[in-house]
Structure 1
C-alpha cells in the first residue's frame, strides 16, 4: 500500500515531510542573527509544530541546526537522526534520543527508514533518503554535487521527491570557495535521479547587505533551478514551495 506524502516548507532547508501518519522535520532553523537571515518568512516556531515522529539534521551549521531555538519543542524524546558532530549539541540542550549516522548507514523509526548518504560542505555533512509506506524522499541539506549522489537511484530505487539546495553558495573570504551546489548542478543531479517531483531549497538565505558584499556570494532566485531543470530534466516536474505551503505529492 502506498501512503500519502506531503511536504511543507518552514524556511530555507527546514521542511515537514509527512509520510502516512508520520511527520519528519528537516534541518531546524527558527531564528536569525548577524549574517544569518532566511531571506523569507519562518512559517512556524518550535512550539507551533505538529507532533514530530523524527528530526533529521545534516550538519552543525546554525542555519541547519538551530538547537537553541528548537529546544522550545516540548518533546525532548523525539528521535533525532543526525550527523556525528551534532550529537553533543543536541544532548546539551536536552534532547535524549539522538542517533548519529555515517554515510550509507541506516536506522528505523516506526515504519520509516532513514538512510544516510554522503554530503560535502564546509563541515562534515550527511544527507538522507527517507523511505517508508512505498514512498521515498531525498533531503540533500546543502551539499555540493558529489559522484556518490549520482548512485542514489540505483541504491534506493525510484524517488518520489528530491529536496536539493540550489544557491551555489561561495565563501568570498576563503578564496571564493564553493560550498553548495548551484542551480545547474542541482538540475544535473535531478536528471540522474529522475524523481517524480523536484523541489528546490536553500536559496533565499542572505548574510545581509554587508555580509553578501564581503563574505558570501549566492544565487537567491529559485527560478534559476526551475529553468535549469527544464533544460537538463524536462520530464521532471519542479515546484517551488512558499514558507507555510503544504504540497501533497501524488502517488
Structure 2
C-alpha cells in the first residue's frame, strides 16, 4: 500500500481524495445561487485548494459542476474526467485536458513523481440527468464515489468487479422533486445502506444530505432527508462490518494505515 488514503469534505458531494500519493477533487461546488444552497459551510475557496492531480465530475447539475467558480483554478492543464455532457462546459471554462468516461470505461493517469498508477473507472448511475460515478484505484487502495445516483441494479456488479473497496462516498438524502409528483432522483439513507451491504467497504461516508432549496424551495420544489444519522443507523443493521463516519466540511478523515 503506497501513500495514505484520506478524504476531506469540502461541502455537499465535493471532496478532496488523497490516494496513493495522488490528490483528486470530486464534483466541485464553491458558490451559491437562489434555491441552491449547500446547507452547510463551504470549507475551501478555489484559491485555497492544493495542487490537484485530477478532477472528477459526475454530471452537469450546478451543485456538482460549478465550473463558473472553478474556472478560477490556477492549473488549466489539470486532467478533468467527466460525464459526457460536461466536456464542452469544462473546455469553455478554459480547461485543456478534458475526457469523458462512459460506464465501465477506465483511464490511467500518467505519473511524474514515482507514485505508481492511478486508475479511474466510470460506473453506471441514474439521476434526473445523465450521470456516471467513479471508482478510483491507486497505491493498492480503492474508493467508490457515488455522486448523487439512485440505487440501480448495475451497482451490484461493483462487488464482483471491485471486491475490496476501502472507502465509499455515498449520497443519502433521497431527494424528491415535488413538481414531478415527488419523483425520487437520489438514493435515500436506506438505499445507501443497501448499497453498503452489497459493496462491504471498510469505511462509508455519507454526503449530499445538507442541501436545501431555501425555505420556499423546500416547501414547493424539493423534499429530502437532511439527517445523515438515518444512514448511520441503517448501515448498523444492513452492513455492521462497515465503519460509518459522518465528517463535517473541512474535516479530514484518514482511512486505515
Where on the TM-score scale, by shorter chain, does this alignment land: which range? Answer: over 0.9
Report the Cα offset of residue 3 of structure 1: 2.9
Instruction: Give the corresponding residue for 1:159.
Output: 165
Equivalent residues in 2 for 1:26-65 (5 A)?
A: 26-65=26-65
Q: 2:163 touches 2:199 (CA, 8 Å); kept in 1?
A: no
Paired with 2:18 and 2:147, the residues of 1 have a C-alpha distance of 18
Instruction: Give the corresponding residue for 2:154.
Output: 148
Instruction: Give the corresponding residue for 1:19.
Output: 19
Paired with 1:195 and 1:59, the residues of 2 have a C-alpha distance of 24
Q: 2:177 touches 2:223 (CA, 8 Å); kept in 1?
A: yes
Equivalent residues in 2 for 1:35-184 (5 A)?
A: 35-109=35-109, 110=111, 111-184=117-190
Secondary structure, in 3 states, of the residue corresponding to 1:75? coil
Paired with 1:95 and 1:149, the residues of 2 have a C-alpha distance of 31
Paired with 2:191 and 2:163, the residues of 1 have a C-alpha distance of 21
Give the count of matched residue pairs. Answer: 251
Structure 1 alignment gaps of length 5 or more: none
Secondary structure, in 3 states, of the residue corresponding to 1:46? coil
Instruction: Give the corresponding residue for 1:248.
Output: 254
In the alignment, structure 1 residue 206 sits paired with structure 2 residue 212: yes
Q: TM-score by structure 2 length?
A: 0.96
* Segments of 4+ moved more than 6 angstroms: none
Query: Match for 1:238 among 222, 241, 244?
Result: 244
Q: 2:148 touches 2:208 (CA, 8 Å); kept in 1?
A: yes
Report the Cα offset of residue 150 of structure 1: 1.3
TM-superposition CA deviations, 1:5-63 (whole Å, max 9, x none): 01000000000000132100000000000110000000001110000000000000000
Secondary structure, in 3 states, of the residue corresponding to 1:48? coil
In the alignment, structure 1 residue 189 sits paired with structure 2 residue 195: yes
Paired with 1:107 and 1:23, the residues of 2 have a C-alpha distance of 16
Paired with 1:232 and 1:219, the residues of 2 have a C-alpha distance of 19
* Structure 1 residues 157 and 2: CA distance shift in structure 2, 3 A: farther
Q: 2:20 touches 2:140 (CA, 8 Å); kept in 1?
A: no
Secondary structure, in 3 states, of the residue corresponding to 1:47? coil
Paired with 2:180 and 2:57, the residues of 1 have a C-alpha distance of 25
Q: TM-score by structure 1 length?
A: 0.99
